[in-house]
Amino acid sequence: DTGVSQNPRHKITKRGQNVTFRCDPISEHNRLYWYRQTLGQGPEFLTYFQNEAQLEKSRLLSDRFSAERPKGSFSTLEIQRTEQGDSAMYLCASSPTGVVDIQYFGAGTRLSVL
């Protein structure tokens, strides 16, 4: 069990560029979540997968954001036409099947849009 892995750890991009982040959950965790966190705020829910199915997506998520989990293992989060307001820490979490949904977080990808 190596924990939730996220890559890259840091990403600097210019406004208007597309970026993609990867998350590898803890093995055998069938649930995967993406969050965004800005300074001084708690993580904000973006989207949730159970296996390969995207079951919930935040209403706050614009059409520029898309996430996939094609084989029910790793997931990618893509942001198209990045804006300065997208600068944040993007966190991935995974959880096993269970009555209580205990989520374990990766180290995050810090995005800076110039």
Partner 1 sequence: QKEVEQNSGPLSVPEGAIASLNCTYSDRGSQSFFWYRQYSGKSPELIMFIYSNGDKEDGRFTAQLNKASQYVSLLIRDSQPSDSATYLCAVTPGRSMRFGAGTRLTVKP
Write out the DSSP string of the chain.
----EEE-SEEEE-TT--EEEEEEPPTT--EEEEEEE-TTS--EEEEEEETTEEEEE-TT--TTEEEE-TTSS-EEEEE-S--GGG-EEEEEEEE-SSSS---EE---EEEEE-
- Taking the least distance from each CB to partner 1, the nearer of 19 and 92 is 92
Q: How far apart (Å, rounded) are the C-alpha atoms in residues 101 and 15?
A: 36
Q: Is residue 102 within the footprint of partner 1 (CB under 8 A)?
A: yes
Cβ–Cβ contacts within 10 Å for residue 72, how many?
14
- Taking the least distance from each CB to partner 1, the nearer of 55 and 114 is 55
Q: Is residue 12 within the footprint of partner 1 (CB under 8 A)?
A: no
- Taking the least distance from each CB to partner 1, the nearer of 21 and 35 is 35
- Taking the least distance from each CB to partner 1, the nearer of 17 and 51 is 51
For residue 40, the minimal CB distance to partner 1 (Å) is 7
Q: Site residues for partner 1, window 28-87 (CB under 8 A)?
A: 31, 33, 35, 40-45, 48, 50, 55-56, 58
- Binding positions for partner 1, rule: CB under 8 A: 31, 33, 35, 40-45, 48, 50, 55-56, 58, 91, 93, 100-108
